[in-house]
Structure 1
C-alpha cells in the first residue's frame, strides 16, 4: 500500500503541474483560438486524473482529508465549466443536477468530518473554499430561473465559462502553492484565490466591453 500511495502521489503531482502549465497557456492565449481550445481540452483531461488520484489519496490511503474539498471544488467547476461550453444554455439537464447533488453530499461528508476532528486547518482557507464551492452550486441551481431568451441573448454562458474554468485553475494553484510553500500558510493558499478573482473580473469586463461580439458562438471540441 505504501508503494501504491507513493505512486499515486507522483501521478497526482505530475499531472497537476502539467495541468497548471496548460491552464496558464489557456489563460494567456486568444479565447476561441486553436491554442486556447487545445490547451483547455488537455487541461480538463488532466484534471480528471488529478481528481481521481486525489480521491484515492483521501478514501483509499486516508491522507489529508482537506484534499477532498479542494478536489470536489476543482472537479465540479471543471465539469460545469465544460458543460456550459457545450450547452450554451440554461436548460435543465439531469446529469448536471445529479453531479451537483453528489458534490454537495461529498462536501457534507467533509464538513461532518471537519467538525468531528476539530479546527485543525486555518479557518480562512476552509471557509473560503467551502464558500466558493457553495456559491457556484447555488448559482447553477438558480440560473434555471433566468428566462432562456435573456440567457441566450446576453450570452451569460460566456461569463460562466470564464468564472468556472479560472476557478478550476485557481483551485489547482492554491493546492500547489499551499503544499510547496507550506511554511507560508495560510497566505500561500488564499492569495492565489484572490488573484484568480481579479483575473476573472478583468476577463469579464474586457469580454463585456470588447470581446463579447467577437467570441465564437460555436466551439469545436
Structure 2
C-alpha cells in the first residue's frame, strides 16, 4: 500500500473514531449549553476531516460506491444540520441552495457510476443511502416554499435529524469496514438505531415545547 494512502486511512480512522465517540457523548449530555456548542463544533470539524479523507480515498485510491454515497450523505447532513442552527427562523439562504444543488449533482454522479460498476457493490446499503439523500434533498428544496413562521418551529427538529443522521451514517460506514459477517444488515442496523434515537429526541423536543407553551399560558 502506498504511504500516502496509508496516511489517509490512518487519519480517517482516527478522526472517525473520535467523531463517533464525541457524537455519542453529546447524545448523553445537556443540549443548548456553551459546553454542548463547543463540543458540537469539535464534532463538526472531526466529521469534516472524516469526509475529506473519505473523499480523497474514493477519488485517488480506491473508489467504493457505498463509501462514496455515505461520504456525500454525512457531509451534506452535517453542513445542513449545522446551518439550521444559524438560519433558524430566517429559513434557507443562497448558500443552502448551493449545498443542495451540489449534493444533488454528487448523488447523481454516484448513481450513474453505479449503473456501470462491476465491483458487485450494488447493495441495499448503497440504494438505501441514496434514497435517504434524495429524501433530505426533496425536503430541503421544499423548505423554500414554507411560510416563514414554519422555519422557527422546525429548525430544531432539522438540527436533531441531520446531526444524528450524520453520526449514525458514520457508524454504518464503520460497521461496513469492521463487521464483514452479516452484511448488509450490520450496516443497516446503525441506520435503524439512528432513526429510533431521532424519534426519541423529536418526542422530547416536542414535549419540552408543549410544556413551555403551557407555562406561557399560565403566566399570561
Structure-1-length-normalised TM-score: 0.90
Note if 1:110 corresponds to 2:110.
Answer: yes
Aligned to 2:34: 34
The CA RMSD measured in Å over matched residues stands at 1.7
Task: Using the TM superposition, name which of 94-103 and 114-123 deviates more.
Answer: 114-123
Aligned to 1:188: 186
Structure 2: gaps of 5 or more residues: 213-220
- Following superposition, the deviation at residue 125 of structure 1 comes to 0.9
Flag the structure with higher helix content: 2
Aligned counterparts of 2:38 and 2:30: Cα–Cα separation in 1: 12
Aligned to 2:6: 6
In the comparison of the two structures, how many residue pairs are matched? 212
Q: Give the 3 Å change call, closer, same or farther, for CA 104–168 of structure 1 in structure 2.
A: same
Task: Using the TM superposition, name which of 14-23 and 99-108 deviates more.
Answer: 99-108
CA contact under 8 A between 1:29 and 1:35: conserved in structure 2? no
- Following superposition, the deviation at residue 90 of structure 1 comes to 5.0
- Following superposition, the deviation at residue 212 of structure 1 comes to 6.5
Aligned counterparts of 2:93 and 2:139: Cα–Cα separation in 1: 15
Q: What SS does the corresponding residue of 1:30 show, helix, strand or coil?
A: coil
Aligned to 1:91: 91
Task: Name the larger-Rg structure.
Answer: 2
- Following superposition, the deviation at residue 119 of structure 1 comes to 7.3
What per-residue deviation string (whole Å, max 9, x for no partner) do you get for residues 81-140 of structure 1? Answer: 000101103534111111111111111111111101257236321221111111111101
Task: Using the TM superposition, name which of 51-60 and 32-41 deviates more.
Answer: 32-41
Aligned counterparts of 2:65 and 2:127: Cα–Cα separation in 1: 15
Structure 1: gaps of 5 or more residues: 215-221
Aligned counterparts of 1:88 and 1:111: Cα–Cα separation in 2: 32
What per-residue deviation string (whole Å, max 9, x for no partner) do you get for residues 35-91 of structure 1? Answer: 322221111001111111011001111332321110000000000000010110353
Runs of 4+ in 1 over 3 A off after TM superposition: 211-214
Match of 2:171 among 167, 170, 173: 173
Structure-2-length-normalised TM-score: 0.90
